[in-house]
Structure 1
Amino acid sequence: MDPDHLTAVEEFAELRRCLDVGLARIDGQLALLAQRHGQIDRDLTDLAARVAALEHAKWPVPTVAALTSVGALAVAVWQALGR
């Protein structure tokens, strides 16, 4: 066989090995990204549920202000009547 032909075959074999290794590495990285994406989706869903629970449980500011005003009015009336 021609030495140039053997060299070309060896170079093609080396290129194929490099390509296989590169594709395997890319497949691994894609699998890792898919796993991270799934985890981020779960975390985001959990966070959205926590925020919704916090929003549902909080007292609205106008309600707190109204209750404080009523309390202050009651104390003022009590003090006025007590004297």
Structure 2
Amino acid sequence: MTEPSPNDPAAVALELERIRRTIEVGFTRTDGALALLVQRHDQSDETQKEHARRLDAHDARLDTLERGETERQKRSDGRLDALERARWPLPSVAALVALCGLLLSLWQLTSR
């Protein structure tokens, strides 16, 4: 087989068609790779948004706990207040015991 001459229009057209096909295949591969990268980027953005949303929810719950605004904390505070009101203060008990001791001492002293 003989090589086609460079001035042969059919040979030039054939070579141009081969170059065009090679470029099309290259562009198709590049488009596919870019589409895959775009899809991964979108998934990454969605994942980051989900993580940010969850982090905001956790922050809000922590703020609520720090302020003591949960129902359980409110119930505990109410019970604690009720217990503090219901207990006898220690200084009052000590004063009553001392008064009783004084009265008993005076009664014994007067009964002799």
**TM-score, structure 2 as length reference:** 0.51
The one of the two structures with greater contact order (alpha-carbon pairs below 8 A, sep at least 6) is 2
Amino acid at match of 2:48: I
Larger radius of gyration: 2
1:53 corresponds in structure 2 to 61
**Cα displacement string for residues 35-74 of structure 1 (whole angstroms, at most 9, x for unaligned residues):** 11111111000000001111111148xxxxxxxxxxxxxx
CA RMSD across the alignment: 2.0
* 1:29 correspondence with 2:40: no
What are structure 1's unaligned runs of at least 5 residues?
61-77, 79-83
Higher helix share: 1
**In 1: Cα distance, 2:67 partner to 2:50 partner:** 28
1:4 corresponds in structure 2 to 12
Large movers: runs of 4+ above 3 Å: none
**TM-score, structure 1 as length reference:** 0.68
Moved more, 1-10 or 35-44: 1-10
What are structure 2's unaligned runs of at least 5 residues?
1-8, 69-90, 92-112
**In 2: Cα distance, 1:59 partner to 1:50 partner:** 14
SS of residue in 2 equivalent to 1:58:
helix
Shift of 1:2: 1.2
